[in-house]
A and B are shown apart, each in its own frame.
Chain A
Amino acid sequence: DSGVTQTPKHLITATGQRVTLRCSPRSGDLSVYWYQQSLDQGLQFLIQYYNGEERAKGNILERFSAQQFPDLHSELNLSSLELGDSALYFCASSTEGTAVGNTIYFGEGSWLTVV
């Protein structure tokens, strides 16, 4: 158990809908990351927050948004869902905002299926 908690574990929704994925980082970790894992794209970095502020942005679609709250939990919002958004979405956390001397721990993921 990495200490990173993600909910829900599984989610099935229809095209055009909106969903919210939730992540609680490890105790004491200030940084949260979101990744998308799909068969054709592999593991893609979406976005990073550090202590409530956006730190880095990757291949995140405009239909997707995220935020980190004062209690450091994070939410990833996916809207106008398309079939191609079906994937495993990982949250990860780390103590600091960089990888220098820092280990990034991953949650178990949220499986999203869009039908």
Chain B
Amino acid sequence: AQSVAQPEDQVNVAEGNPLTVKCTYSVSGNPYLFWYVQYPNRGLQFLLKYITGDNLVKGSYGFEAEFNKSQTSFHLKKPSALVSDSALYFCAVSYSSNTGKLIFGQGTTLQVKP
């Protein structure tokens, strides 16, 4: 079955330090990978996506993600965290050429402390 795993419920990092939010996936066929962020009482905001090509994808707000096919991972990274980055982050995968349906991970809460 197709699935996405975010192994950490919460990630804590100090402001100014690099951050990583982990994501692994399991799909048959080519994966199309996405990261979304959800601030309290808000909708999901698109951050970045990997469709094909360069394994390092750059997105909004200084975030980037690295696609690793051999490890079936798509970790979200940022070189220097901001307190305002504190939010709930979701990794998602789509695998079908017939539908845009996304399968989401359980989400990781990122807490950036001053």
Contact = CB atoms under 8 A, between A and B. Distances in A.
Interface stretch (B16-24, B65-73, B78-86, B98-106): B98-106
B28 interface: no
A25 interface: no
Interface string A90-115: 10101011111111111111000000
B114 interface: no
Contacts, number: 73
Interface residues of A, number: 28
Interface stretch (A42-50, A63-71, A72-80): A42-50
Max chain A Cβ within 10 angstroms of own Cβ: one of B43, B90, B96, B104 = B43
Given A2-B43, A55-B98, A43 B104 contact: yes
Interface residue tally of chain B, by bracket?
A: 20 to 34
Nearest to A103: B46
Nearest to A108: B43
Contact of B100 (A2, A4, A98, A106): A98
Contacts of B49: 103
A80 B101 CA distance: 26
B111 interface: no
